[in-house]
Copies of this chain bind each other. A is one copy, B any other.
């Protein structure tokens, strides 16, 4: 405690704006505070400026995060798109861009694309490459968070165990965090959306179905980082649909965008994927509307159990299928309120995402910011810096 990392934490949260504040809040000697602050300034994370307003004598000097010199990049990788966002370390979006990109093109091509976009956005925002301290990347598949390697990701052929961070850390002096896209979306929702909740589920309904979990204000990844994989929970009373995982009755096989598209195609209504289903719903196709509403009920049946188990304040629904949210959420709400316990639902909100298309990239950027500003990581980086070594590449 009261390490340089803790001092930075107080400054970035706005709990202390001057050296005198820090001495008062921490109870540390003025000389110790000065030493810690000077270290952070030398390292470039904090800057000290004279304020215009003086009350006579020497004008007070105010400490703040050095947002000009410290940025992060947030990346949202989908099956067929890539969004890259440049943010400063205070969380302000500086520039972003989305392109169509097939994740099946493989790690080298996709990571090169991210690399190029990063340079373009930096040029656009007028920031040097050295300002980028970390990159956060959300990918559409399971990831071992500690190493940044995808683990048997079903829709990412060629990515299994690929060490994503190495691509960047071998080229640049920065850190790389890789996480499942729904975790980035959940984090983006609580930090950038209007849903302030300590216990929140972000349910992404796209081709598949996944869930990001905020428990007690923090991302819950579980023991192996596999938490939130709700697409293969068995839907009560839906045992016939075969799933690509080998089981039957999985939520994804019953209510995912791909499953709905297949069912429409079987009925003679051409639909290639979830987006096509949403288009049919928008145009008022009665079968598509009915299937989406039924899918909502099936999702609601699984979520009703999770509401009893987890007791969240909010469920936020995103992903491609959320564009048909009137019908989807109607089904979800219907079953949750019918099946969950009254104590767990009487203040529960079930809403479509507000962060929208940009949510995943902003959440991934937030993952990078939280990592850089974590007091333990600051102290580790400073120790390496002091020892004359380059900051460790995680």
- CB of A343 within 8 A of CB of B2, answer no
- CB of A309 within 8 A of CB of B236, answer no
- CB of B27 within 8 A of CB of A245, answer no
Tell me, in angstroms, the Cα distance from A186 to B296 when the chains sit together.
34
The stretch that binds B, out of A122-130, A220-228, A358-366, is A220-228
Q: List the B side residues contacting A239 at CB < 8 Å.
A: 236-237
A108, chain B: closest CB distance, angstroms: 25
Copies in the complex: 2
Q: List the B side residues contacting A235 at CB < 8 Å.
A: 236
Determine if A146 is an interface residue (Cβ-Cβ < 8 Å): no
Determine if A26 is an interface residue (Cβ-Cβ < 8 Å): yes
Determine if A310 is an interface residue (Cβ-Cβ < 8 Å): yes
- CB of B305 within 8 A of CB of A222, answer no
Determine if A191 is an interface residue (Cβ-Cβ < 8 Å): no
With both beta carbons as reference points, the residue of chain B lying nearest to A247 in the complex is identified as B339
Determine if A241 is an interface residue (Cβ-Cβ < 8 Å): no
A292, chain B: closest CB distance, angstroms: 22
With both beta carbons as reference points, the residue of chain B lying nearest to A32 in the complex is identified as B27
Determine if A131 is an interface residue (Cβ-Cβ < 8 Å): no
Which residues of A in the span 322-343 have a Cβ within 8 Å of any Cβ on B?
Answer: 338-339, 341, 343
A275, chain B: closest CB distance, angstroms: 26
Determine if A293 is an interface residue (Cβ-Cβ < 8 Å): no
Tell me, in angstroms, the Cα distance from A218 to B218 when the chains sit together.
11
| In-complex Cβ contact of A227 among B213, B227, B310 (8 A) | B310
- CB of B29 within 8 A of CB of A2, answer no
With both beta carbons as reference points, the residue of chain B lying nearest to A152 in the complex is identified as B343
Given A29-B29, A233-B309, CB of A343 within 8 Å of CB of B215: no
A24, chain B: closest CB distance, angstroms: 11
Determine if A318 is an interface residue (Cβ-Cβ < 8 Å): no
Determine if A104 is an interface residue (Cβ-Cβ < 8 Å): no
Q: List the B side residues contacting A58 at CB < 8 Å.
A: none
Given A2-B1, A302-B305, A311-B223, CB of A341 within 8 Å of CB of B216: no
| In-complex Cβ contact of A347 among B1, B224, B310 (8 A) | B224
- CB of B216 within 8 A of CB of A313, answer no
Tell me, in angstroms, the Cα distance from A32 to B33 when the chains sit together.
14
Determine if A50 is an interface residue (Cβ-Cβ < 8 Å): no
Tell me, in angstroms, the Cα distance from A305 to B228 when the chains sit together.
10
Tell me, in angstroms, the Cα distance from A255 to B115 when the chains sit together.
55
- The contact string, 1 if C-beta is below 8 Å from chain B, for chain A 222-266, is 111111111011111101000001010100000000000000000
Q: List the B side residues contacting A32 at CB < 8 Å.
A: 27-29
Determine if A351 is an interface residue (Cβ-Cβ < 8 Å): no
A-B contact pairs, 27 of them (CB 8 A): A1-B2, A1-B6, A27-B28, A27-B36, A142-B343, A198-B223, A211-B309, A215-B215, A216-B216, A224-B311, A224-B347, A226-B341, A226-B344, A227-B311, A228-B311, A229-B308, A229-B309, A229-B344, A230-B305, A233-B304, A233-B308, A233-B309, A234-B339, A237-B237, A305-B305, A305-B306, A310-B310
- The 9 A-B residue pairs whose C-beta atoms are closest, nearest first, are A222-B311, A233-B305, A227-B311, A223-B313, A29-B29, A226-B311, A226-B344, A226-B343, A236-B236
